[in-house]
Structure 1
Amino acid sequence: MRALAYFKKGDIHFTNDIPKPEIQTDDEVLIDVSWCGICGSDLHEYLDGPIFMPKDGECHALSNAGLPLAMGHEMSGIVAEVGPKVTKVKVGDHVVVDAASSCADLHCWPQSKHYSSKPCEACKKGSENLCTHGGFIGLGVISGGFAEQVAVSEHHIIPVPKEIPLDVAALVEPLSVTWHAVKISGFKKGSSALVLGAGPIGLCTILVLKGMGAGKIVVSEVAERRIEMAKNLGVEVFNPSKHGQKSIEVLRGLTKSHDGFDYSYDCSGIQVTFETSLKALTFKGTATNIAVWGPKPVPFQPMDVTLQEKILTGSIGYVVEDFEGVVQAIHNGDITLEDCKQLITGKQKIEDGWEKGFQELMDHKESNVKILLTPNNHGEMT
């Protein structure tokens, strides 16, 4: 089938030769892909990888799949076929895919070295996003959404009301990343929140905070185009480059109490945003790191947390309940279609996905949020 695939380190290109997926187990669902967003993780696989993808000549530890593999994990589509034990969806339903794979998927891959293993401790406790053997559909486990079709177990499927356009539905996955982060931070309706960075994840965090009823949202950003994007979502923007050493003091003063924010979310992952995420909090505030950092450690003063009983936590990935929460929030209007559509800055066919998708994002990072790719199964580009 047609796909934009990862062949080896530094080699991602369109092909007609990726094997078409088939239903292998009774609980699997075959999906005609409608749209799939290019994620920063996809770009990093090309620029810095392999990270999640198998190395050249090797297979993925969870599924035993080898290269080439279609990329793409932020997907929406239409059910084309269901296994005999599938009850959640039927042919023709609109769906999105929870791309995180875990011990729950091992029954699909008898060739996996972990096939007969018992569930890891994280999976036993319902934290599949922390699975010891985990990985992602479209990032090495199996082929993903930059292709005509994808086949996944039923527990990966989240039905989407047909009132939600399928291009917007492709945003459910990145929104679920930030929904998970805001949820585990213990966020309470009416609270104040600081978002550090207005890239794709920062903008998704804004939408989730608005959907959960934040009383005040401030976004810290220095890039003019991203400042504009955040303002278009109706939130206040703070540019620390205009305040120098007084940035923390000014930030804290933007809250109703003038004493700092109840919650902060670091979506940038650099030393200054990490420090700001803690110092801009009020007492007993919670700082959540969503950003993915490199291997180099950063200085940390524990007393920044201890003296005011602040909480520092991290968030990674999502679980299926996060997808369900996002879909419901979009359906009932807490997260608006208008806001979602502002995050879509381009649409391309998978045949053009490298030049007009990956290259465009790498060359014009600050002016893009999400570029969606489609195999055009149902005339999505017409």
Structure 2
Amino acid sequence: MMKAVVFHGKEDLRFQEVPEPECGKGQVKIKPAWCGICGRCVEPLRGNFYEGTIPTICPTTPHPITGEQVPLTFGHEFSGTVEEVGEGVTKFKAGDRVCVQPIIYDDECGSCKEGLINCCDKNGFVGLSGWGGGLSEHVVLPEYCVIPIPDNVPLDVAALVEPLSVGWHAVAISPFKKGDSALVIGGGPIGLSVIQALKAKGCDNIIVTEVSSMRKQYAQDFGAHHILDPTKDDIVARCRELSDNKGVHMAFDAAGVQAALTSAVKAVRARGTIINIALWEKPFQLMPNDMIFRERKWIGVATYVAGDFQEVLEAISSGRMKNVEQMITKRIGLDEVVEGGFKALVKDKDRQVKILVRAGDGEV
């Protein structure tokens, strides 16, 4: 048996004993070191399961790939050390330092055949849809989920690669090129990951909208050039002033708030692009004429694809992505997750960027 943090339903998260998984053919057994707490995990605790959407989060009926349903072990942002490899595994050995790309996909649907594993018809996530999770003492996963870490990247920083890859992917599929201006809506973990990616790719005009004074400071520390407060500033007018009176080339929505989206659409120049990263709890309103008469585009972003984790790790290792460890605002033990982790994130989210859980030895 082993210890794990298990989700049982709304407002029901338990630190308990569960069976220790065994390593089989094509699998890798990992001892998690550090695991981040994600806002996506907070939502099911509030009773929001994003029902009817893909990927299936905390399924209450068997997931089509894992066959698992609630109760489920949490944790999809994690790093660790390989303990054992199964038959047929050739890329890893015991002792290797790794992080986990948690997308679960069938490799059979049309999206998967095109390499878009993030758009799989049966999509899910390790730590949200089955196969265990990083908030445990051991986890066994298919080899394709496991990513090697460069020697100069610590394990705690490697636990940040998952959220950083979301921002990296958003910028990668956007039309961004050097010289473009970008508006980032929201200074939470994903907004900050977009800032990091834009900086690493050479953006020299990053504008961020945020209300929280603490998150404004984080955005500035991570490289934003201009910080606007939507409760005080005219976002559309200020974005024009900061972009040759034409509007920004693109806006990244990492907040999912109607008022912010409405402003962002008008802040983007003709033939500019709005990139949506945020998950929405309900339908939003968008005036088509605001898009039509300026030939603006709106695109959705679904997490990341194969290769994004490796590119983020290379950017960290080479120094193009800097000071990412500053995203870590709190460290706790596995037995502190309920009170010191999830509840703290809900009560004090403006002061927290990323709470890391010491899942194993907590070595770096």
Give the TM-score, by structure 2 length: 0.94
Q: Return 214-223 or 299-308, whichever deviates more.
A: 299-308
- Alignment of 1:101 onto 2:104: yes
Q: Residues of 2 paired with 1:77 and 1:240: CA distance?
A: 40
Query: Contact 2:170–2:275 at 8 Å: present in 1 too?
Result: yes
Q: Return 59-68 or 361-370, whichever deviates more.
A: 59-68
- Please give the per-residue CA displacement for 1:177-214, whole angstroms capped at 9, x wherever unaligned: 11111111122123211100101111111111111111
Report how many aligned residue pairs link the two structures.
356
Q: Residues of 2 paired with 1:219 and 1:195: CA distance?
A: 5
Q: Residues of 1 paired with 2:199 and 2:14: CA distance?
A: 38
Q: Identity, % of aligned pairs? A: 40
Q: Residues of 2 paired with 1:223 and 1:120: CA distance?
A: 42
Query: Contact 2:131–2:141 at 8 Å: present in 1 too?
Result: no
Q: Which residue of 1 aligns with 2:346?
A: 362
Q: Which residue of 1 aligns with 2:286?
A: 300
Query: Contact 1:101–1:141 at 8 Å: present in 2 too?
Result: no
Q: For residues 312 and 50 of structure 1, do their structure 2 counterparts lie closer, same or farther at Cα, with a shift above 3 Å needed? A: closer
Q: Which residue of 1 aligns with 2:275?
A: 288
Gaps of 5+ in 2: 51-56
- Alignment of 1:78 onto 2:81: yes
Match of 1:310 among 274, 277, 296: 296
Match of 1:152 among 131, 135, 141: 141
Q: Which residue of 1 aligns with 2:53?
A: none
Query: Contact 1:176–1:322 at 8 Å: present in 2 too?
Result: yes
Q: Displacement, 1:273?
A: 1.4
Q: Which residue of 2 aligns with 1:114?
A: none
Q: Which residue of 1 aligns with 2:251?
A: 264
- Please give the per-residue CA displacement for 1:331-365, whole angstroms capped at 9, x wherever unaligned: 111101x2x11110111111111111111111101
Q: Displacement, 1:247?
A: 2.9
- Which amino acid in 2 is paired with 1:265? F
Divergent runs of 4+, >6 A: none
Match of 1:88 among 87, 91, 102: 91
- Please give the per-residue CA displacement for 1:14-71, whole angstroms capped at 9, x wherever unaligned: 01x211121222x21111101010000110010124441132xx43232112443210
SS in 2 for 1:262: strand
Q: Residues of 2 paired with 1:326 and 1:125: CA distance?
A: 22
Gaps of 5+ in 1: 105-118
Q: Which residue of 2 aligns with 1:252?
A: 240
Q: Displacement, 1:379?
A: 4.8
Q: Displacement, 1:10?
A: 2.5
Q: Displacement, 1:239?
A: 1.3
- Alignment of 1:34 onto 2:20: no
Q: Residues of 2 paired with 1:161 and 1:65: CA distance?
A: 33
Q: For residues 129 and 298 of structure 1, do their structure 2 counterparts lie closer, same or farther at Cα, with a shift above 3 Å needed? A: same
Q: Return 77-86 or 168-177, whichever deviates more.
A: 77-86
- Alignment of 1:166 onto 2:149: no
Q: Return 143-152 or 300-309, whichever deviates more.
A: 300-309
Q: Residues of 1 paired with 2:351 and 2:301: CA distance?
A: 26
SS in 2 for 1:225: helix
- Alignment of 1:218 onto 2:207: yes
Q: For residues 206 and 379 of structure 1, do their structure 2 counterparts lie closer, same or farther at Cα, with a shift above 3 Å needed? A: closer
Q: Which residue of 2 aligns with 1:24?
A: 24
Q: Displacement, 1:142?
A: 1.8
- Please give the per-residue CA displacement for 1:214-240, whole angstroms capped at 9, x wherever unaligned: 121010111211112112223220112
Match of 1:123 among 96, 112, 123: 112
- Please give the per-residue CA displacement for 1:131-152, whole angstroms capped at 9, x wherever unaligned: 1111000002221000011111
- Which amino acid in 2 is paired with 1:240? P
- Which amino acid in 2 is paired with 1:82? V
Match of 1:54 among 31, 52, 59: 59
- Which amino acid in 1 is paired with 2:39? G
Query: Contact 2:9–2:45 at 8 Å: present in 1 too?
Result: no
Q: Which residue of 2 aligns with 1:350?
A: 334
Q: Displacement, 1:279?
A: 1.0
Q: Residues of 2 paired with 1:270 and 1:175: CA distance?
A: 21
Query: Contact 1:18–1:68 at 8 Å: present in 2 too?
Result: no
SS in 2 for 1:190: coil
Q: Residues of 2 paired with 1:380 and 1:206: CA distance?
A: 28
- Please give the per-residue CA displacement for 1:281-305, whole angstroms capped at 9, x wherever unaligned: 122211101010012x332222212
Match of 1:238 among 215, 228, 245: 228
- Which amino acid in 1 is paired with 2:212? A
- Please give the per-residue CA displacement for 1:70-124, whole angstroms capped at 9, x wherever unaligned: 10000111111112322222221111111010003xxxxxxxxxxxxxx111111
Q: CA RMSD in A?
A: 1.5
Query: Contact 1:9–1:50 at 8 Å: present in 2 too?
Result: no
Give the TM-score, by structure 1 length: 0.90
- Which amino acid in 2 is paired with 1:35? W
Q: For residues 248 and 373 of structure 1, do their structure 2 counterparts lie closer, same or farther at Cα, with a shift above 3 Å needed? A: same
Q: Displacement, 1:254?
A: 1.0
